[in-house]
């Protein structure tokens, strides 16, 4: 239940606080005063699409805030907690801002949240009926949803079981159809994939092989240059290959060490230098040995090896061009392609399994759909009887409502049923679908009657009605008011109305008052009691708040409402 609604800079409303609370709240006001902005504000709190055009002229943003009374535990509190918000002491604060540029921001339990969260919470908190929603009752979908709400938990459980079977049946049927229609294509794909995989398997590429081959090719391509450089370096280190008695590096270092050894006794500071020269001699000897080994190991037939390496590189390059941009792509193709080939080769076995599954699920879907039809047909009779009784109390004493369930349709997510609500306004007339046979006023009363009946089996915390009394007046309007008051015994009811006959039954009367400074229209909201309420009722009746006859009629209506409520 929404306890209080705050509005700032929305439409013509500069700032207003609406005390709502339990029972039946009527919102009235002159045409253009901004009554519809109350419904717009509630819509924003329930996740409706933001419209920058709703921001009050000259304002930077519109802001709406609602204080709701909800259980501390349950689905609503859990969803709020998921967003990081809190339900404190049974109170939930929801907020929504809309900037003049169209940007929107939502607040849930004191924390920013996606606007979609408001929509999710709204489904649990409020049912809104505007004139567009009355027209929606003309749709087949809305009529089936109304019947399903009335049928309650047994039907919802049956729908859940049916939907699970239907989803599996539809998925298996779609896969079976795909496999059958694409059988030839998949066979060709398997053949081509097998050939490609055979080619890759024959080459048997290894991770990092392309890098290793590139390094080997570079080495083999420069084999003579490497041999000459290594030989010259060895000769310079070791004098065995040098002519003319030229000194080598080992001899020079050894000679330097011997010079120091002759004088080292005179200055110990030369000892580390001598040791370094001795170590250098050892290192040079090791280097000479390694160069000898390197020269011995150089392949004399490097040209043949280079040819083999280049052929291997060309093969790998060819595979890369066909299966990706790198050798890693080829390796991934071999892995993934193998799995895909297993899948394709198993088509026949998969088709057999799917055929058996679809056959089994078809029987299950038919059985569960038949159960849905039984439950809906039984509920349809009860709903028709109860709504017909309500219509009699809504100044349609001769009207009869019937709800027809046609189970002979293709299976869908909701079952096989198409639900039609038919209205017979008068005896002797043929029942006609409300989509074609009901006037605007009749449709308003049918919708209200359905909500009153459904509320008994599927209660909703809050109902919001915008112009539910459109197209009616007189005795019918009084009965609408009485039925709204009855609905308010179980749920919070908020009604935007222009009829005194409806407003008279409200336990909380709010008036949207229009003001202007000559340039900008600005509206506010006042809670009416006593004489002020009588004056507003008189204005609704006669257009004049101080009309003696209007005031008398207003008092009479309030007395009628009080007597009938009692």
DSSP 271-338: HHHHHHHHHHHHHHHHHHHHHHHHHHHS-TTHHHHHHHHHHHHHHHHHHHHHH-SSHHHHHHHHHHHH
95 and 200 part of one domain: no
Q: Given a cut of 60, is residue 520 above it in pLDDT? A: no
In the numeric block, the tokens 């096989």 are attached to 416
Does 252 score more than 80 pLDDT? Answer: yes
Measured CA to CA, the distance from residue 86 to residue 128 in angstroms comes to 25
Residues 125 and 206 in one domain: no
Residue 286 lies in a domain: yes
Give the 3-state DSSP-derived string for 118-155, with helices as H, strands as E and coil as C.
HHHHHHHHEEEECHHHHHHCCCHHHHHHHHHHHHCHHH
**249 token code pair:** 């590096």
- Establish how many alpha carbons lie within 13 A of residue 70's alpha carbon, considering only the half-sphere containing its beta carbon: 28
For residues 483 and 455, what is the distance between their CA atoms, to the nearest angstrom?
A: 12
* pLDDT for position 368: 96
Each residue of 175-221: pLDDT tens digit? 898 888 777 777 787 777 878 888 888 888 899 888 888 888 887 77
Whether residue 47 sits in one domain with residue 125: yes
**Is the domain of 87 the same as that of 217?**
no
Do residues 198 and 336 share a domain? yes
Q: What is the CATH number of the domain that holds 477?
A: 3.40.50.300
Is there a single domain that holds both residue 200 and residue 289? yes
* Range of the structural domain that residue 268 is part of: 189-344
Q: Is 438 inside a domain boundary?
A: no
Average pLDDT over residues 298-311: 74
Dihedral sign of CA atoms 272, 274, 276, 279 in order:
negative
Question: Does the pLDDT value for residue 303 go beyond 90?
Answer: no
pLDDT of residue 366: 95
* 453 domain residue, yes or no: no
Lowest mean pLDDT of 114-118, 217-221, 329-333, 371-375, name the range: 217-221
512 in a structural domain: yes
Q: Which phi and psi angles does 361 have, rounded to 5°?
A: -70, -30
Whether 118 and 207 map to the same domain: the answer is no
CA distances from 295 to 220, 229, 283, 298, 308 (A): 14, 10, 18, 5, 22
Decide the pairing of beta strands 126-129 and 462-466.
parallel
Q: Which residues of 120-147 are buried (b: 16+ CB within 10 A; e: fewer)?
A: bbbeebbbbbbeebbeebeeeebbbebb
Q: Are residues 200 and 340 in the same domain?
A: yes
DSSP at 556: H
Q: How confident is the model at residue 516 (pLDDT cuts 50, 70, 90)?
A: low
Provide the token pair at 557.
């209506």
| Domain-located, residue 446 | no
E-strand spans in 12-155? Answer: 13-19, 24-29, 61-69, 91-99, 104-108, 111-113, 126-129
pLDDT at 302 over 70: no
Is the pLDDT score of 517 beyond 90? no
Query: 91-99 and 104-108: which strand pairing?
Result: antiparallel
Q: Exposure pattern of 53-66 as b/e (b: 16+ CB <10 Å)?
A: ebbbeeeebbbbbb
Contact of 233 with 326, CB cutoff 8 Å: no
Specify the pLDDT at position 241. Answer: 53
Residue 519 has pLDDT above 60, yes or no: no
Q: Over 90: is that where the pLDDT of 483 sits?
A: no
Give the integer Cα–Cα distance in Å for 329 and 345. 23
Of the listed ranges 383-392, 432-441, 531-540, the least confidently predicted one is: 432-441
Name the domain boundary from 294, 322, 344: 344
Dmax of the chain from CA atoms?
Answer: 142
Phi (first) and psi of residue 366, to 5 degrees:
-65, -40
237 domain residue, yes or no? yes
Domain check: are 119 and 200 in the same one? Answer: no
Are residues 195 and 333 part of one domain? yes
- pLDDT of 157 reads 95
Q: Is the pLDDT of residue 565 over 60?
A: no
**CA–CA dist 399, 429 (Å, integer):** 10
Q: For 186-192, which contacts have Cβ atoms below 8 Å and span 24 or more sequence positions?
A: 186/344, 186/347, 187/344, 189/344, 190/341, 190/344, 190/345
Residues 404-424, mean pLDDT to the nearest whole number: 93
pLDDT at 365 over 90: yes
pLDDT by residue (tens digit) across 123-173?
Answer: 888 877 765 555 567 788 888 988 998 998 999 999 999 999 999 999 999
pLDDT of residue 563: 76
Are residues 115 and 250 located together in one domain of the fold?
no
Confidence band, pLDDT 50/70/90 cuts, at residue 107 = very high
Least confident window among 137-146, 243-252, 461-470, 476-485: 243-252
Q: Helix %, strand %, coil % for the chain, to 5?
A: 60, 15, 25
Provide the token pair at 359.
């056959």
Q: Is residue 359 part of a domain?
A: no
**Predicted pLDDT of residue 204:** 87
Residue 402: pLDDT band with limits 50, 70, 90: very high
Last residue of a domain, one of 344, 361, 390: 344
DSSP codes, 427-486: TTSPPEEHHHH--HHHHHHHHHHHHHHHHTTS--SEEEEESTTTT--HHHHHHHHHHHHH
Overall number of domains in the chain: 2
pLDDT, position 408? 92
Q: How far apart are the first and last CA of the chain?
A: 24
Does 6 share its domain with 118? yes
* pLDDT recorded at residue 89: 85
Q: What is the mean pLDDT of the chain?
A: 85
Q: Does any domain span residue 427?
A: no
Confidence at 359, pLDDT banded by 50, 70, 90: very high
Return the exposure string of 248-257: e unless at least 16 CB atoms fall within 10 Å of the residue's CB, then b.
bbbbebbeeb
Which helix or strand (DSSP H or E) is residue 400 part of?
A: strand 400-406
Cα distance between residue 248 and residue 279, in whole Å? 16
Whether residue 48 has pLDDT greater than 80: yes
Give 23's pLDDT tier (boundaries 50, 70, 90): very high
Q: Does residue 375 sit in helix, strand or coil?
A: helix
Report the pLDDT value the prediction gives residue 406, as an integer from 0 to 100: 95
Whole-number Å distance between alpha carbons of 37 and 17: 13
Last residue of a domain, which of 322, 344, 366? 344
Highest mean pLDDT among 124-133, 296-305, 531-540: 531-540
% of the chain with per-residue pLDDT over 90: 24
């Amino acid at each position: 239940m929404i306890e209080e609604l705050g509005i700032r800079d929305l439409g013509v409303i500069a700032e207003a606080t609406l005390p709502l609370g339990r029972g039946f709240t009527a919102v009235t006001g002159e045409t253009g005063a901004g009554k519809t902005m109350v419904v717009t504000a509630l819509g924003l709190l329930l996740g409706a699409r933001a419209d920058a055009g709703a921001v009050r002229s000259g304002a930077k943003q519109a802001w709406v805030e609602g204080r709701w009374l909800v259980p501390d535990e349950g689905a609503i509190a859990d969803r709020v907690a998921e967003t990081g918000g809190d339900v404190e002491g049974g109170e939930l604060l929801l907020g929504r801002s809309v900037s003049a540029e169209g940007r929107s921001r939502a607040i849930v339990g004191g924390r920013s949240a996606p606007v979609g969260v408001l929509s999710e919470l709204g489904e649990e908190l409020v049912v809104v009926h505007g004139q567009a929603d009355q027209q929606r009752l003309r749709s087949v979908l809305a009529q089936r949803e109304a019947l399903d709400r009335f049928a309650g938990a047994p039907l919802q459980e049956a729908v859940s079981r049916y939907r699970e079977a239907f989803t599996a049946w539809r998925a298996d049927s779609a896969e079976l159809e795909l496999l059958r229609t694409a059988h030839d294509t998949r066979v060709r794909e398997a053949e081509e994939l097998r050939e490609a995989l055979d080619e890759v398997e024959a080459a048997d590429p290894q991770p990092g092989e392309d890098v290793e081959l590139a390094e080997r090719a570079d080495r083999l391509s420069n084999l003579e240059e490497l041999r000459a450089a290594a030989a010259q370096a060895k000769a310079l280190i070791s004098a065995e290959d040098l002519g003319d008695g030229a000194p080598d590096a080992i001899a020079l270092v050894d000679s330097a060490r011997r010079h120091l050894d002759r004088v080292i006794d005179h200055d110990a500071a030369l000892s580390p230098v001598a040791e370094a020269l001795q170590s250098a001699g050892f290192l040079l000897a090791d280097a000479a040995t390694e160069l000898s080994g390197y020269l011995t190991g150089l392949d004399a037939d490097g040209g043949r090896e280079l040819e083999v390496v280049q052929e291997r590189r060309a093969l790998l390059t060819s595979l890369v061009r066909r299966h990706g941009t790198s050798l890693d792509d080829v390796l991934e193709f071999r892995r993934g392609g193998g799995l895909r080939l297993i899948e394709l080769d198993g088509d026949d076995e998969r088709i057999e399994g799917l055929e058996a599954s679809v056959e089994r699920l078809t029987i299950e879907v038919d059985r569960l759909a038949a159960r849905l039809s039984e439950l809906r047909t039984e509920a349809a009779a009860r709903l028709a009887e109860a709504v017909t009784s309500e219509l009699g109390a809504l100044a349609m004493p001769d009207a009869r409502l019937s709800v027809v369930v046609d189970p002979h349709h293709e299976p869908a997510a909701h079952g096989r049923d198409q639900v039609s609500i038919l209205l017979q306004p008068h005896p002797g007339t043929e029942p006609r679908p409300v989509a074609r046979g009901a006037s605007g006023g009749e449709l308003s009363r049918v919708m209200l009657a359905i909500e009153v009946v459904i509320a008994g089996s599927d209660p909703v915390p809050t109902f919001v009605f915008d112009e539910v009394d459109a197209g009616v007046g007189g005795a019918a309007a009084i009965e609408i008011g009485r039925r709204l008051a009855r609905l308010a015994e179980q749920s919070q009811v908020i009604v935007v109305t222009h009829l005194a006959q409806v407003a008279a039954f409200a336990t909380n009367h709010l008036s949207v008052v229009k003001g202007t400074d000559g340039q900008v229209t600005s509206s506010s909201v006042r809670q009416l009691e006593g004489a002020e309420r009588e004056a507003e009722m008189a204005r609704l009746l006669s257009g004049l708040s101080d009309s003696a006859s209007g005031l008398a009629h207003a008092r009479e209506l309030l007395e009628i409402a009080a007597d009938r409520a009692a």
